[in-house]
Chain A
């Protein structure tokens, strides 16, 4: 019997309940392994009995993505929460996948170091952040999880344990499975350990925040979307080197709020330079004295603070959550397209300088507008992905260039389709 085989691994197994559901699909059992070896034993048992498996870390994003075609066993990595090695002198950490991002960074801060990612979902584990490739404001400076992961241990569907990379930052030996598994949503294998490149904690952080009017808040016919886009481009090219340039615009907020983060030893003077640029816009092609200058209509003048605005780094709340990615110089068109979609109750927020924004809308009454918005976004070389909150009839992923290759990779790693089947792009 499957349950006996699972119990025979010696791993704690419990019967699943509705709170364990993966996007609405309730598994039969939940296993709580404590080591990579135990994960491997579980997957071997699952393979013998053709059990479908989904890994879970903090359980914070189980409702992201489509539901699995089937799910017999949830492998909960919460017990694998050990920091295996923090080599502070090497700026490297090795950690088990069930460690939460918060507890990891708390430990690292004792050595004045950090994993330089901003994880927008509290309680996210290292495995979860890798599996979903989460990132936040500072991706503009430090990149995303795939840029900071330097080694990975995974267990494949048949119980094979594999490593790639290592614990040195510079390393080109063999294929980089860490990148392949980052963002793979548990469909290729189960991440059990990872090593990351760390950064020193910056001694100072300063935020410069200002709010610019949206068109409906200003009587002038100025094209504020274009102006904001141009401002983002200008700030992103600033030699004051901001770490993040975030934008927040909701139906209830007073306008487009832009907040810029400066980190490092000279953060105050650099923040002053950014403040100046955000006040006295010198955007090429736009007359400073004309009515088109948003500085004239500033709803709040740029202010330098030691703390971020309260929305900083959070995903917008709402029924349907989407991620919009565009070339970073194309924020203006996105703002215009979102405005013209007239989605009441929307919140648009994210890393303007990286061209990655999240959009939340209350419910599915906006599906037609979303489809149109996707066409517009793809038209400027971007993508719109529905992250969560949409029903099964919704196309979540949009255009994907190399789907056939992705399917071939899946077929090699999980030929029997037992790892989170159906949870990923193109039915993978």
Chain B
């Protein structure tokens, strides 16, 4: 086997940073979306932006695709490798480069975990606001690629609202700085959430937020999901913007109970987790109102966390929900769709109908405040045809989201998983227009190709005339 590219990669990277051993390559064959798998052609573990730039330039020279990967926790296959390409893993770029409290910012490398930023500044009374459930392990570079959210983005926004600047390696292999300071197009905003298709972030400047003076976390149990829904609408209608409002239905509660013994109130058809934060006086006033609203909406039990431990206990069930359904089902699909909050009752009723029609159970966990659903579609992969039916139900849920004016993804990204749904949400003209951005950055379509967009769209010009044999024919790896 010819090892042309791998050899060249070893010229720009330390020997051990280039992986070609088939067994080791296989450990990178998927991200958090495990049912899409591909063994990467080669894996590199760079330590600097310059090394990434050199790798990308080699990819351009050999005309092979490259995919960036952080911690590999993504749930849409955004970091699914290419068997004909290079997987660039940022796990060795884990330095917090600077913390500047006076200017409320930190500069970090892309492999730094989301939570590590908060841990670095917590004692000083600061934190990094976006908090995806995987925050203990997910990388900030991956957060930038996916524009990650989390339970608290209802009040505080997403990654894009908290990243002030980026150093990135463009698909041409140039190192470029994007800053909120600069005049000109908001390329920073366009890059964040582009799922690795516009380049690789190598240095990230994040905003640090001041910790709120008070945090109140409460759990309200309802006999029905409708009761919980009424409470959510009334809270928003009262002009309160909680830090988070999360809801779980009976099946999701059952799973969480089996997995982590979260001891949510027995007999609950739905639980609502509401977190209020801010100045103490404000939180006290809002808590009294939320408490009243929940009782009026039919809450039969309300618990309030009196300590950090109790808060963690309330969150425990919610945060473990995805993995927990493994306790009640051999296999499951994590869906991620968004509907306008007011359409939640209709859409949940629609999901109920789908469960009946297809004989497939769905556990519902959602960020109720912003209408972001995470239906967990349960199936037994040992039963013939059940996986296909689950897949069908999962897709039909997205159709429901689109029908009610929502989105096919609120935070997990399109990746490889949902690119086929993009034409249901966007017209050809919409997609072609988005493609103009990609072509401006990546004319050769080598940066994470096959993700986000449903069909390969060309940029309408040939970047260079190929003189060598096609790389696939030349057996690069």
Contact = CB atoms under 8 A, between A and B. Distances in A.
Interface of A: 87, 89-92, 112, 133, 143, 146-147, 154, 156, 160-164, 166-177, 179-180, 182-184, 188, 199-201, 203, 233, 236-241, 264-266, 269-270, 325, 327-330, 355, 381-383, 385, 396-406, 408-413, 424-426, 428
Contacts of B193: 172, 175-176
Contacts of B189: 146, 176, 179-180, 182
Given A168-B371, A176-B193, A239 B176 contact: no
A401 B182 contact: yes
Contacts, number: 247
Contacts of A162: 427, 429-430, 432-434
B281 interface: yes
B279 A240 contact: yes
A424 B184 contact: yes
Contacts of B190: 175-177, 179-180
B410 interface: yes
A398 B182 CA distance: 8
Interface size class of B (residues with CB under 8 A): 35 or more
A174 B426 contact: yes
Interface stretch (B243-251, B339-347, B388-396): B339-347
B373 to A, nearest CB: 10
Interface in B210-234: 210-213, 233
A182 B186 contact: yes
A265 B288 CA distance: 12
A287 to B, nearest CB: 20
Given A90-B342, A176-B189, A424-B184, A405 B433 contact: no
25 contacts: A133-B186, A143-B157, A162-B434, A163-B430, A170-B370, A170-B410, A171-B338, A174-B425, A175-B193, A177-B190, A179-B186, A188-B185, A203-B239, A236-B210, A237-B125, A239-B213, A239-B279, A264-B282, A269-B281, A270-B279, A325-B181, A400-B182, A401-B177, A411-B440, A425-B183
A89 B237 contact: yes
Contact of A402 (B104, B184, B194, B339): B184
A382 B434 CA distance: 31
B255 interface: no
Interface string B399-443: 000000111111111100010001001110111111011111100
B425 A173 contact: yes
B340 A167 contact: yes
A177 B434 contact: yes
A426 B281 contact: no
- The listed residue with most B CB atoms (<10 A of its CB), out of A112, A167, A266, is A266
A174 B452 contact: yes
The list of the 9 closest CB pairs from A to B, nearest first, reads: A179-B189, A200-B239, A329-B102, A266-B281, A162-B433, A239-B213, A327-B103, A401-B177, A329-B103
Given A164-B430, A168-B405, A383 B183 contact: yes
B435 to A, nearest CB: 9
Contacts of A396: 183
A180 B437 contact: yes
Interface stretch (B13-21, B63-71, B146-154, B299-307): B146-154
B179 interface: yes
B285 A266 contact: yes
A425 B189 CA distance: 17
- The listed residue with most B CB atoms (<10 A of its CB), out of A182, A264, A402, is A402
Nearest to B210: A237
A329 B194 CA distance: 31
B437 to A, nearest CB: 5
